[in-house]
Amino acid sequence: MVPVLGTVEKEKQQDCLLKYLMVRLAAILMKLKPSCLLCLCNCEKSGGGDYYDLWKEQKAGIARKLKISFKELKDTFWGKQVLFYNPEVLFKTVTQPENHTFLKKFGYSSCKSIEDYLDTLKKRFCTFDKSDPLFPHEMGIFLGYPLKDVKGFIEKGTLPLTATGRWQVFGAPEESKRLMRMRNKAEKVFLNLIKNGRNPVSYIEQVSTHFKKAKDVAAIRVF
């Protein structure tokens, strides 16, 4: 009986991890965002379950189910830092002329492929500790933050801080806030689908089309 109970509990945690990832990665699955950095840990007190262990065991299967790519950046004392991404959207983002020029300052000048960019990011990411000045704040570009916000964060004082949310906004806030609203809405739509017993991944095309047609984020209905 004990092994059976253990299996049931593990299946519940697997289901929880998959649903958690579906919601957190909704904007990537819908191509509204290039990537997302998550820390997967074993944290029973917060209800997280054994996400670290489950990820180590099942990452290939999870990635196939979600149809998403990932890059493990670093193991820390609190968990595994994993960058989930859409290869096409991320490569387009980092190679945009202004972004590419900016990233050259941080050692990405010789990058030709998405793998090159991610390998360089991982090397820089792994040099970081609390006293290391080489924390890769350029990661904001990989996460889809507007360049002005990434530069504003790194180059303190060049632009005024005008808003806060998923990231700090510097200068004109309108476009940054619009991106935040779209990404927040994507997560809410996926969460609602899960609550209704549906698999959000099966509705990606339908939901994405609805997002594109909506003239305002507020008009996007929750499926």
What is the tens place of the pLDDT at every residue in 137-172? 899 999 999 999 999 999 888 899 999 999 999 999
The mean pLDDT of 107-135, rounded to a whole number, is: 83
Confidence of residue 5 (pLDDT cuts 50, 70, 90): very low
Q: Where are the beta strands (DSSP E) in 10-138?
A: 35-40, 42-43, 49-50, 69-76, 79-85
- For residue 54, the SS3 value is helix
- How far is residue 40's CA from residue 1's CA, in Å, rounded to a whole number? 30
Q: What is the pTM of this model?
A: 0.89
Residue 63 in contact with residue 70, Cβ under 8 Å?
yes
Confidence of residue 127 (pLDDT cuts 50, 70, 90): confident
Q: What percent of the chain has pLDDT over 90?
A: 65
Domain extent at residue 90: 17-219
- DSSP category for residue 165: S
* Inside any domain, residue 57: yes
* Inside any domain, residue 5: no
* Inside any domain, residue 4: no
* Inside any domain, residue 150: yes
Cα-based distances in Å from 63 to 57, 60, 66: 12, 5, 5
- How far is residue 29's CA from residue 189's CA, in Å, rounded to a whole number? 12
The mean pLDDT of 14-37, rounded to a whole number, is: 94
The token pair at 201 is 């991944």
* Inside any domain, residue 101: yes
The token pair at 144 is 């889809």
* Inside any domain, residue 11: no
* Inside any domain, residue 2: no
Q: What is the mean pLDDT of the chain?
A: 87
pLDDT score recorded for residue 1: 43
What is the count of structural domains for the chain? 1
